[in-house]
Homo-oligomer: A and B are copies of this chain.
């Protein structure tokens, strides 16, 4: 069998993520490798920790990378925090709430959920009522759920959790970098992310940050593995049900002891570090504002094409919009035409929204004017070809108006 070298077709990834990585991130990943305990390597690890503290807006010492996709970060957080039988509350407002539920169940936790319809978010009182009733050890919630495009306000939840002695865990994979996120100010105890959305990198590394309160819970379950433990290591508490995701050990690997655990995925570390380096150089507030601007232009543009937007606009993430597929249009065929004829990928959704909406992203490296404009131009042609009545130039004109009004 003889396959050619990798040579992917040119694509503009304007779906809900993964999106195109910033070329500078991919170049960083092609740097030559160094050993795990090379001083240059441990310096890069420490720099990545410092950079992600800025990305997460936290002073948490324990801010590092889990070697896997964003889902690995979620599982590492939950399996390290939750012991069998622990109560966890998951407010579900889209598919990824179901994922948190599913992962918490596999940790043998006692999982309680509350739900709002897809396209809405929770009011703080709804969460507090449930916290009062369930008395959970952990409240686990998604900030931005790409399945619905909603962005859950978190500013009040940390205080509620602290008052009821619960830890607040947040999956910010879809939102971080494109929407305001303030780990310390909002009292988030654990936040996990992924590179493949607004951070502008490839999937495969999961940044995480843990508050001192969360670290204390995890350290109380410390079991250093045989062959690595020294006389000073005493087993404590109920052993975490995963070795790979045992954050007590991962912290010892990233920390001063540098205890051997996994072999750090060096190329992904280089990439994750570069994602954060570029964002921090831009400024986190500026990056969020960039996502707001291009998200607003895309929102106006799909409106200009006559498409109906899904969900509560007051709580839409900056970086993705969902639109109802117009009557008479075959959604998958239209997405296929976008990809095949124009080289542009847009997404569908899951569960109740599958085949009913398209999701269009403007995130990371693709949160930029030409990406917005060309997507709207192509979408107009595909809609017209599908028989949708449409104002010629209506999408790009509406987007251009947003840019003009903002002097962009």
Chain A interface residues toward B at CB < 8 A? 1-3, 5-11, 13, 15, 17-21, 23-24, 26-36, 38, 40-41, 44, 47, 50-51, 54, 67-72, 75, 79, 95, 98-99, 101-103, 105-108, 194, 196, 202-204, 225-228, 239-246, 260-268, 270-271, 273-274, 277, 280-281, 339, 345, 350-351
Contacts and interface: CB of A to CB of B under 8 A. Distances in A.
Given A33-B202, A68-B72, 15 more contacts: A3-B273, A8-B44, A27-B30, A29-B30, A29-B267, A38-B339, A67-B69, A68-B244, A69-B264, A69-B265, A98-B227, A102-B227, A106-B239, A204-B265, A267-B267
Contacts of A277: 3, 5
A193 B15 CA distance: 33
Contact of A225 (B32, B102, B107, B242): B102
Complex copy number for this chain: 2
Contact of A243 (B7, B23, B106): B106
B268 A268 contact: yes
Contact of A29 (B9, B26, B72, B106): B26
A32 B5 contact: no
A38 B20 CA distance: 13
A18 B38 contact: no
Contacts of A36: 18
Contacts of A196: 263
A18 B34 CA distance: 8
Given A68-B72, A242-B75, A225 B267 contact: no
10 contacts: A6-B44, A7-B31, A13-B33, A34-B345, A67-B68, A67-B72, A72-B244, A203-B262, A203-B266, A227-B351
Given A34-B13, A69-B67, A227 B99 contact: yes
Nearest to A243: B103
Contacts of A271: 267
A266 B95 contact: no
Nearest to A350: B227
A32 B10 contact: yes
A266 B13 CA distance: 13
A264 to B, nearest CB: 7
B13 A72 contact: no
Contact of A350 (B19, B260, B263): B260
Interface centre among A54, A103, A202 (most CB of B within 10 A): A202
A108 B267 contact: no
A79 B271 CA distance: 29
Contacts of A19: 33
Contact of A95 (B8, B10, B227, B261): B227
A204 B67 contact: yes
A105 B238 CA distance: 13
B108 A241 contact: yes
Contacts of A270: 6
A241 to B, nearest CB: 6
